[in-house]
Chains A and B, each alone.
Chain A
């Protein structure tokens, strides 16, 4: 009896703490990340078109907003539906000791909200691993980090590592089955971009989903299209995930997927390496290794279009 009432109390506290933390860290993230020098300055990411996969003269693209570099924090945090292995009862004491805490909750559109509190690890690069992909992000000056990542499986294992700390959690999100994810995963100071042109949309039109216009999970929940999750750092592993609701009757047609690799001072004349993951009829995620030779440094500021790396997605068979 005692235990039960304590648990109820804890649950309530958790909710409150999470809401507060999510709000706070969300706010902090925006501030901190906007202040942080962008991974790539906008002048190095102009537009370009290719014919037959070769480079053509670039034309400048409008400056991507600073938001480009932020994880999606598009809506107020919602009540967690499920929490596991997070020792949330100690969250309020965490400021006092150095034990890092991880809280994982589900958010709409089969997203996972991760809240990390590591008071003794401020401004630290943290790796986030889920299934076959690894992303990274920084804790803020107080050792906090909040981000959202799509659940790739109905049962998702999430691992967070930094220094010699490993925090793991597992979430069951049945809704994950209703989404398909197209993933680009890479490491280091490369500038790779996933572009989804939904149902005939042209560049910069409403249906063009990319880091400059990532759209929101709400859009997917409404069934009106996909959204992009971007977890990118210059030093660690980075990931862009395009998530599209599958089996939504109002969505029909073809989504074209184009990857762009920018030629920057850091990447010119180098091999762009990445992994591209995409579902096939025979695998939940089929992996393709990418090793694309980028043009030399005379071509800085241009973008190489990879139009055949990802297969277009067709929704609702005719």
Chain B
């Protein structure tokens, strides 16, 4: 095992060819000396193959002598980045350009083809190359293989990966049903959408639309998030696309079209809002996707192996995850993860629904009153926690949210305030059981966040209100999933 990982280490070592030869590393007072072959130097750490095996040493206190020593002037960090066209060509360029600005480097973007682009960072004074990011457009399976084989340093993907791959959610997207602008229908129920996609609803006139056949356009891969809710088959006659842009163009140009595309690439098509039979509907918006209130949200991942990346690449990844990068991500057409606030007054619809749903039931009305009393003077954060299907484990976006919220709390954003974790359930089962379940989930999320919070002067509380505040109809699986959640409220 050790040997295997060491071989992996050698394969992944960056940039291998630059370093070959013996070095002697000595600390400041000369008390410790290490001799060996230099394997790599990332600008911060030496990796040396010694008689005792491979050692990684902080370069800060060390003097390097010998022919193998890197010339710091010639040191260039290289990172190979692969991912889907949108992430390579729309998301990465502004992120790297703003990162370069922030670090004081000159930036150059070099376009080689629709699938290859290179970004260079230089010292502005000397013109010395500091870092090269080589971007390549590849589909998800190639990206995963490339990462495993060490051909890729940073993988961008919509497919979740397990350890040892390290993954961060860096942006969000969503699968959206699309129709051309001239289609008068703005809202469908989930079962109507299923019938449209499967071909069971063959003519728009069956939905009080024009007398046109329904033409289905589907993006390959868009079924990922959808598959969690929709197990039915797609129409045999569906047109298939591997580019979300091409799908949006086709839908926009076809008066009879219904398509499944991406929020980040709606082009000139119009999104169709999916609702439930109870009258609740959640359109895909930046806020609803960030809050995962919109059910077909698709997290976008940055994957890397646990091996050391050059320092500047690590800095870049940290930047991409930072709050500072969120406005940059927002301009790329993808949805960012900035933590926004939604005031209580902007949630009138939700509350009105809760009151109506409670009806004459005394117990339910009391629960609604309790909830309104508790939340009246608070703001809801867009950051929300949701669970994997039929499980109490957080989904990928929510797991990433644990880190985001803890980071923000550690940075002092909520100092002196109280953070309320408020649990809700779907309406299935007895209400006292749901009350307990929502309380338990809220507590477990609070504990997960608290475990990552240092000693910030922040008070954290949790409470559960069961099924009293539905966001979607409970008559479908995706509606129930949307309703099972832990919201975060703040004063």
Chain A interface residues toward B at CB < 8 A: 50, 52-53, 199-200, 202, 253-254, 256, 276, 280-283, 286-293, 305-309, 311-312, 314, 318
Chain B: minimal CB distance from A284 (Å): 13
Chain B interface residues toward A at CB < 8 A: 85, 88-90, 93-94, 97-98, 101, 108-115, 117, 137, 242, 245, 249, 252-253, 266-268, 327-328, 331, 333
Bound form: Cα–Cα A2–B106 in Å: 54
- B residues near A307, Cβ cutoff 8 Å: 114
- B residues near A312, Cβ cutoff 8 Å: 245, 267
Beyond the given A254-B267, A256-B249, A292-B112, could you list 7 further A-B residue pairs with CB under 8 A, ordered by the A residue number? A200-B253, A282-B98, A287-B108, A287-B109, A288-B111, A292-B111, A292-B113
A-B pairs, 8 with minimum CB distance = A53-B114, A281-B331, A200-B268, A308-B89, A288-B109, A308-B114, A200-B252, A253-B268
Bound form: Cα–Cα A307–B265 in Å: 14
- A residues near B112, Cβ cutoff 8 Å: 291-293
- B residues near A199, Cβ cutoff 8 Å: 268
- A residues near B89, Cβ cutoff 8 Å: 308, 311
Which of B110, B242, B245, B249 is A291 in contact with, Cβ under 8 Å?
B110
B333–A280 contact, CB under 8 A? no
Nearest chain-B residue to A255 (Cβ)? Answer: B268
Bound form: Cα–Cα A316–B89 in Å: 22
B253–A280 contact, CB under 8 A? no
B85–A308 contact, CB under 8 A? yes
Given contacts A254-B268, A256-B249, contact A311 B108 (CB under 8 A): no
B111–A289 contact, CB under 8 A? yes
Bound form: Cα–Cα A256–B245 in Å: 9
B249–A280 contact, CB under 8 A? no
Bound form: Cα–Cα A50–B243 in Å: 13
A-B contact pairs, 29 of them (CB 8 A): A52-B114, A52-B115, A53-B113, A53-B114, A200-B253, A253-B267, A253-B268, A276-B111, A280-B97, A280-B331, A281-B94, A282-B94, A282-B98, A286-B93, A289-B109, A290-B111, A291-B111, A291-B112, A292-B111, A293-B112, A306-B111, A307-B114, A308-B88, A308-B115, A309-B111, A309-B114, A312-B245, A314-B333, A318-B266
Which of A253, A254, A280 is B94 in contact with, Cβ under 8 Å?
A280
Which of B109, B110, B115, B249 is A53 in contact with, Cβ under 8 Å?
B115
Q: Which of A307, A308, A312 has the most CB of B within 10 A?
A: A308
Nearest chain-B residue to A202 (Cβ)? Answer: B253
A288–B110 contact, CB under 8 A? yes
Bound form: Cα–Cα A50–B15 in Å: 35
- A residues near B328, Cβ cutoff 8 Å: 281-282
- B residues near A287, Cβ cutoff 8 Å: 108-109
Chain A: minimal CB distance from B225 (Å): 21
Nearest chain-A residue to B101 (Cβ)? Answer: A282
- B residues near A290, Cβ cutoff 8 Å: 110-111
Bound form: Cα–Cα A183–B1 in Å: 54
Bound form: Cα–Cα A210–B482 in Å: 47
- A residues near B85, Cβ cutoff 8 Å: 308
A289–B268 contact, CB under 8 A? no
- A residues near B333, Cβ cutoff 8 Å: 314
Nearest chain-A residue to B269 (Cβ)? Answer: A200
- A residues near B98, Cβ cutoff 8 Å: 282
Bound form: Cα–Cα A292–B118 in Å: 12
B249–A200 contact, CB under 8 A? yes
Bound form: Cα–Cα A202–B250 in Å: 10
Bound form: Cα–Cα A253–B252 in Å: 11
B110–A289 contact, CB under 8 A? yes
- A residues near B137, Cβ cutoff 8 Å: 53, 308
